[in-house]
Structure formats: structure tokens, C-alpha cells
Amino acid sequence: MELLSGADMIARFLQDEGIEYIYGYPGGAALHIYDALFRQDKVKHILVRHEQAATHAADGYARASGKPGCVLVTSGPGATNAVTGIATAYMDSIPMVVLCGQVASHLIGEDAFQETDIVGVTRPIVKHSFSIRHPSEIPEVLKKAFYLASTGRPGPVVVDIPKDMTAPTERYEYVYPKKVKMRSYNPVTRGHTGQIKKAVEMMLKAKRPVFYTGGGVVTGKASEGLTDLVKQLGYPITTTLMGIGAYPQSDRQCLGWLGMHGSYESNMAMHHADLIIAIGARFDDRVTNSTSKFCPTAKIIHVDVDPSSISKTVRADVPIVGPASSVINEMISLVQGHKIAHPEALTEWWEKIDGWRADREGKLYEPSKVGEALKPQEVIEALCRVTRGEAYVTTDVGQHQMFAAQYYKFDKPNRLITSGGLGTMGFGFPAAMGIKQNYPDDDVVCVTGEGSFQMMMQELSTCKQYGVGVKIVNLNNASLGMVRQWQDLNYKSRHAHSYMESLPDFHMLIEAYGFTAITVNTLDELEPALERAFADKHELVFLDVKVDPFEHVYPMQVPLGAMRDMLLSKTERT
């Protein structure tokens, strides 16, 4: 029988659970835990410079690997600084366990120094939360936390740990729990066979079908099965922002992604479809536009592991509750040996789609001319060429995020790492940091803007301490680009507080942290600068790329319209 203190139980549990990195920032309520981590060498603690960065780094790792990320913060401001990162993970269904120090049990409710009811604060933005009531329950609670975070619809779990629960003087029996029993939590492991049969019958009879797939395919590790199914049927497929890469974007059947800034052909195909096969997507407002005008001629099959997502915003004709992977595999077995009912209609449908594609050929943006500022689209296309489309690409939020999603072609899942639901500026850099530490021999690049980067740029210090060689491509238009775009379109170009009038000299700033910076002003400088940046996988390089400050992201859906209602440029609309 092994007797351990609560703090040592936490350290031992993380070892037994196979956690390699934990991201955090120390403080009084968590010091017993920090001391326990110091006395072992299997779990590596990464000292960030702000707790929000800890959550984003763990989140980035989780998105890239599919395994839960792990965070350790102290009570009060340490815990509240983590809230934005917890909400980011919650909105995108990312598995994460956040261990929060808390004031000693007898002080809870006394407004003690650095006390915050973090369970109460985070209740709306976690999958579940726990508060430790006795040291002996720590192994079981932590096992439940990791199980909850990573099964069913994944999400963040908060564990609140009062300081006296980790006191080194009190020791209890430690046993690593290999199994979890939770009477009230039984995530589904497969879909209803009758509903799946009904869905497949509809799929085979459809004349204008479209697959609409989301982040649930990526987190559900169902990309291979999805590719199989789509190939067998020969149907067009479009993805959400979170689902990018679940199906190879370079394949002819992929129409790109859909919604607010999705491709012209994907939005048009969705609007005119007679059957939408939605898998692991939640009909977010950034996809549907006005739900009353959404896909008016389409029947809808909706597959989701979370029953509360089905028919929440758009009514499903055939609802299927189940994990994407098992439902898709069952669909594949039912489709095999059957022919589609209307092959001639499918041929016509593809002719229509190819016509929409041809309409936009060569019209996506105006390339820069000699002496003009670079177009951000050109930067992303060059980045894709230099990295051969194989990098892990994280983004912050704004125009650069949309350009990265539009012009970098992802053929693998888990490669575009971006904050979709919450839209968190500051996410990209620490997320890249978390990925690079776990995949040191891969190219990891953060595509950012000067607004977003300044929110988390202190993490350059973390990268210096741990030798984290991410690449940072700053699309510098000296403004909050997406805010400015909306102001151009809706506020007669009244740019209220969207211009960054006082920016640092990024070149000097990066060098002050001890890293390499390259400033790019023209198109002929761009590709050599990118080649230089990616020459050494283990060196942090910052590219400050000066881009056209007046460029907009198109297509752009017309607010409150149907999916087909889009602005195609500053002068064209559908």
C-alpha cells in the first residue's frame, strides 16, 4: 500500500495517465502541487507568462493530437485569467482538464485573499466541474475529469482543489483507477441502426445531395471513413471552418468550406441541394445565415454525438445520435453493393456545381502589381507552397484567419488549429507553442495579425525558455482588419478605433527576445523570406509582412440572407 499526500497523488496520477506536458503558472494555493511536480521528472511543467496562454497551449495540443490538454493555475486571478481559454475550448468541443488551486476549505466563502468561486464562474463554459472534498478522492475525481473531457462530445473540465487537500503532512492510500463508473453519464457509442438505414435510403435516392461536415468528424477521428463514404457515393462535400481537412481539400469532390466567408460554390450548392447530410456539425449561425431561409428545398440528415445539438437551430428530418466514426462505418457497409437511384441527376448536379466553380475562376482576388502592397491571399498561397501544405497552421481571429482557411489547402485533419466558436484573439501563438512542443520535428506556423499578436506576445519569453521553434507570419495591415471591413460595409467607412495608430517595431521587439525577425514589403521578397524562415525547424522566426490595408475578405454572406446571398467583391454581389 502506497501512502501519498494529495499533491503527490496529483503528480503521480498525471504520470499514470500519460500526461507529458502541463501548462501553468504558480501561486500560493497551488504551491503544494508545484512542489510535488518539482520532485518528479516524468510530467514536464511549462511555465507560461499568462494563464490564458496555458489554456490555449493545452487546447492547441489537444486539437492537434486528439488527446486532452492539461492546465494548472492558482486560485483567484490565476483561475479567472484561464476563463477565456476554457470558453474557447468549450465552444469548439476540445478536451481539456484545468486544475485550479483554491483557498483552504475553511476559508471558502470568507472572501479570503485570492478567493474566487471558479466552479460558479465557469459553470456555463465547462462540460463538468469538480471540487475536491477529501484528499483520498483525488485519483478517482481526476480519472473522471479526463474521461468526461475526452468522451462523448469533448470539452473542458475544471477541478477545484482547496490548498488543504494537497497538504504534505496528510497522506492517504493511492491507487490509479483503471476504470470509471458514472451512473448519470453514458455517452452513446453507436447510432440507431433503423435511423441509419433510413438515412442511407434517402442518400441513395437524392438528386442534389451535399455532405456538410464539421469539427465532430475531426474530434471523432472519422476522417478516413468519411473520405471512403464520400468517394463511394461520388457526392460533393463541404466542411465548416472547424471541419477543414476532414476531407482532402485538393480533391475535386471538395467544394471548400461554407458559410459567412465560405466558397461561392459551397454556399450555392448548399442552398440548391435537395438533401443535406450533416455529420458532426451544429448548424452554427456563421454557416446558416438566416435559419428561416436556410436550404429551402433540402431534407436534412443530422448525425451528432450530442443529442442537444440535433434540431437545436435547424430541424432534422432524420436525426441520428451517435459518434461520427461508428455511424459513418455503418453507412459505408449499407451503401456497399447499392447503386444510386438517379445517376443522371447527379451528373447534372455536378455540371451545375462546376459551372459555379467556373464563374469564380480567376476572380477570387486581384494580385498585387509591382510596387504595390502585398495581398494577404498571396502570402497564404506562398506559405502553402513553401510548406507543401503539410504544416500545422494555427491562426488568431480576423481577416488573416479567413485568408488562411481560404487559401491554405489542408488535406489532413487536425492541421488547421483555430478558434471557431468563441473567436478568440490571442489564441494562435500559444496554441502553436503547445503543438510545437509535442511535434518538434513538424512545421508549426501561427498566422496572425498585429492586433491579435499583441494580446499574447509575452509568450515569446516562454518560447525562449523552452526552445520552442514556431514560425509566426504576421499579416500586418496596421488595423483590426475584420472590424475595419465591417465598418467599410455598414458604417460608411467610419473607422472607429480600428486603426492601430501606435505599433511597436516588431523587428526590434522580436530581436529583444533573442529571435530572428524578417520584414517583408514586396512580393519578390516573400518566398525567399518564407524559405529562410522554414530552413531550420527548431528556430523561432517572425515574419512581419506588410499587406494591403484596404483588402477585404470575400465571399461574404449578406447578413440575414440565405446561403446564396453573398458579396463577391467590393462591387459585386449575387
Active site residue 113: yes
> Which among 63, 82, 71 is positioned nearest to 14, based on CA atoms?
71
Which burial class, exposed, middle or buried, applies to 285 when counting CB atoms under 10 A from its CB (0-12, 13-18, 19+)? Answer: exposed
Distance between alpha carbon 554 and the CA centroid of its chain, in Å? 22
The one catalytic residue in 15, 114, 232, 454 is: 114
Core vs surface per residue 28-65: b (16+ CB within 10 A) or e: ebbebbbbbbeeeeebebbebbbbbbbbbbbbbbbbbe
Active site residue 51: yes
Region label for 289, one of left (φ > 0), alpha (ψ between -120 and 50) or beta (otherwise): left
Cβ contacts of 421 within 8 Å, gap of 6 or more: 88, 90, 91, 92, 242, 284
> Which among 377, 376, 417, 378 is positioned nearest to 395, based on CA atoms?
417
Helix (H, G, I), strand (E, B) or coil at 275: strand
Give percent helix, percent strand, percent coil of the chain, each to the nearest 5.
40, 15, 40
Active site residue 197: no
Residue 120 near residue 158, CB atoms below 8 Å: no
Distance between alpha carbon 283 and the CA centroid of its chain, in Å? 16
> Which among 325, 328, 296 is positioned nearest to 211, based on CA atoms?
328
Q: Give the whole-angstrom CA distance, residue 247 versus residue 253.
A: 9
Rg (the chain; Cα; Å): 25
> Which among 302, 345, 335 is positioned nearest to 208, based on CA atoms?
345
- Per the structure block, which three cell numbers stand in for 155? 470539452
| 566-567 vs 556-557, strand pairing mode | antiparallel
Residue 495 near residue 479, CB atoms below 8 Å: yes
The one catalytic residue in 17, 51, 265, 330 is: 51
> Which among 23, 16, 157, 11 is positioned nearest to 96, based on CA atoms?
157
Active site residue 515: no
Q: How many CB atoms lie within 10 A of CB 531?
A: 12
Distance between alpha carbon 537 and the CA centroid of its chain, in Å? 23
The one catalytic residue in 113, 173, 464, 572 is: 113
Active site residue 508: no
Q: Give the whole-angstrom CA distance, residue 244 versus residue 240.
A: 6
Residue 406 near residue 66, CB atoms below 8 Å: no
Q: Give the whole-angstrom CA distance, residue 498 versus residue 549.
A: 11
The one catalytic residue in 9, 331, 482, 566 is: 482
> Which among 416, 421, 405 is positioned nearest to 153, based on CA atoms?
421
The one catalytic residue in 127, 143, 163, 299 is: 163
Give the chain's end-to-end CA distance (angstroms, integer).
Answer: 72
Q: Where are the alpha helices (DSSP H) in 116-234?
A: 118-122, 138-150, 193-205, 215-219, 223-233
Helix (H, G, I), strand (E, B) or coil at 557: strand
Q: Which residues are catalytic?
A: 51, 113-114, 163, 482
